[in-house]
C-alpha cells in the first residue's frame, strides 16, 4: 500500500451520488492543475477535513482515456496555438467497472471548462454513429469538425477523488490526485510514463478550494498541463508545444532532450 493509499484509508468515505448531488460534480467549472513529486503525497495535508470517493470498496480507480483528433490535429493545434473554439473529444473507461463514456470538453465563459458526456455504445477506440452525433451536437455550429476523428493518444492512470471545502460557506469542491500516468501512442504502442510525479487537479467554482490554498502554502503553483496536449508534445517533439513548454522543461523532460530523441 502506498503512503497516499494509507492516508486515504483513514478518511471518511463519500459515495458518487452524494458528490453529484452536492454540486461538486461541476461539469462547468474552473480547473487548476499542479504537478508535484509523488513522494510529497505522504506529507502534504491534502486530506485534512476531506472525504474520499469510495466505489464498491475502492478508493483508487484506474482510468483509461482515448483522445480523438482530425488528420490535421485540429483539436491539438487549437489548444497549442490557443485558438478560439478549441475542444477535446475522448472516451473514458473506468477500468475497474468497465463503464465507458464519450466526453466532449470545450471552453466556456471566462475560461471555464465545460464537459458534456454520455455512455459510449462501442469500443473505446472507435466513435460509433451515436458517439459522432453526440460529439458534433455538443460542439455546435461554432466548432465544425473538418473531417473524421480517429484515435490520436491514449493514457491510463490511477485516480483518487476527494470532496473538500470549496472555499465559501456551504460550497464543496473536488480534488483529484492522479498517479502512475502513462501516455500511449495508439499507432505505435510506444509508452511514455510521467515518472515519479502526481497530477493534482482542483475542480471548483470561481473561488479557490482549500486544496488550492494548501498547495500554495507549500510552494506549489498551478501549471498548464493537459493530459492530451502534454502527452502529444512528449510523444511527437515536432509539434508546437508553447502552452506546455514550461511544465515539460521543469517537471517532465526538457525540450532539448525531446528534440535529441526525435
What per-residue confidence (pLDDT) applies to 52? 95
Per-residue pLDDT of the chain (262 residues; tens, 9 = 90+): 788 899 999 999 999 888 877 655 555 568 899 999 999 999 999 998 999 999 999 999 999 999 999 999 999 999 999 888 889 999 999 999 999 999 999 976 666 778 899 999 999 999 999 999 999 999 987 777 888 999 999 999 999 999 988 766 667 889 999 999 999 999 999 999 999 999 999 988 778 899 999 999 999 999 999 999 999 999 998 999 889 999 999 888 765 544 444 4
Q: What is the CATH number of the domain that holds 47?
A: 2.40.320.10
Q: 52 Cβ partners below 8 Å, 6+ apart?
A: 8, 11, 12, 13, 14, 59, 160, 161, 162, 163
What per-residue confidence (pLDDT) applies to 169? 67
* Count of beta carbons in the 10 Å neighbourhood of residue 130: 14
Sign of the CA dihedral 134, 77, 198, 181?
positive
Q: How far apart are CA 102 and CA 212, in angstroms?
A: 29
User: Number of folded domains in the chain?
Assistant: 1
Q: How far apart are CA 238 and CA 223, in angstroms?
A: 22
What per-residue confidence (pLDDT) applies to 113? 78
If you search the block for the grid coordinates 473529444, which residue do you land on? Answer: 89
CA distances from 239 to 112, 160, 232, 244, 251 (A): 26, 31, 8, 11, 19
Contact 63, 179 (CB under 8 A): no
How many CA atoms does the CB half-sphere of 96 hold within 13 Å? 13
Q: How far apart are CA 90 and CA 126, in angstroms?
A: 10
87 grid coordinates? 475542444
257 grid coordinates? 532532450
Minimal CA–CA distance to 62: which of 28, 100, 90, 35? 100
Domain enclosing residue 39, as ranges: 3-261
Amino acid at each position: 500500500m502506498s503512503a497516499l493509499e494509507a492516508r486515504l484509508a483513514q478518511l471518511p468515505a463519500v459515495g458518487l451520488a452524494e458528490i453529484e448531488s452536492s454540486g461538486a460534480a461541476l461539469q462547468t467549472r474552473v480547473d487548476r492543475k499542479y504537478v508535484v513529486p509523488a513522494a510529497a503525497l505522504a506529507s502534504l495535508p491534502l486530506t485534512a477535513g476531506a472525504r474520499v470517493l469510495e466505489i464498491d470498496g475502492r478508493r483508487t480507480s484506474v482510468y483509461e482515456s482515448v483522445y480523438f483528433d482530425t488528420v490535421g490535429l485540429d483539436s491539438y493545434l487549437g489548444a497549442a496555438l490557443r485558438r478560439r473554439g478549441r475542444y477535446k473529444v475522448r472516451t473514458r473507461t473506468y477500468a475497474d467497472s468497465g463503464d465507458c463514456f464519450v466526453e466532449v470538453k470545450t471552453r466556456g465563459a471566462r475560461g471555464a471548462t465545460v464537459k458534456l458526456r454520455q455512455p459510449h455504445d462501442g469500443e473505446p477506440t472507435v466513435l460509433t454513429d451515436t458517439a459522432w452525433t453526440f460529439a458534433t451536437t455538443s460542439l455546435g455550429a461554432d466548432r465544425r469538425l473538418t473531417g473524421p476523428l480517429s484515435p490520436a493518444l491514449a493514457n491510463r492512470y490511477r485516480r483518487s477523488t476527494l470532496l473538500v471545502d470549496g472555499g465559501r460557506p456551504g460550497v464543496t469542491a473536488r480534488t483529484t490526485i492522479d498517479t502512475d500516468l502513462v501516455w500511449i501512442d495508439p499507432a505505435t504502442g510506444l509508452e511514455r510514463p510521467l515518472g515519479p510525479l502526481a497530477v493534482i487537479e482542483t475542480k471548483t467554482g470561481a473561488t479557490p478550494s482549500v486544496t488550492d490554498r494548501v498547495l500554495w502554502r507549500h510552494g506549489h503553483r498551478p501549471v498548464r498541463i493537459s493530459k492530451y496536449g502534454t502527452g502529444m508534445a512528449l510523444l511527437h517533439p515536432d509539434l508546437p508545444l508553447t502552452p506546455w513548454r514550461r511544465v515539460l522543461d521543469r517537471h517532465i523532460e526538457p525540450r532539448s532532450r525531446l528534440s535529441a530523441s526525435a
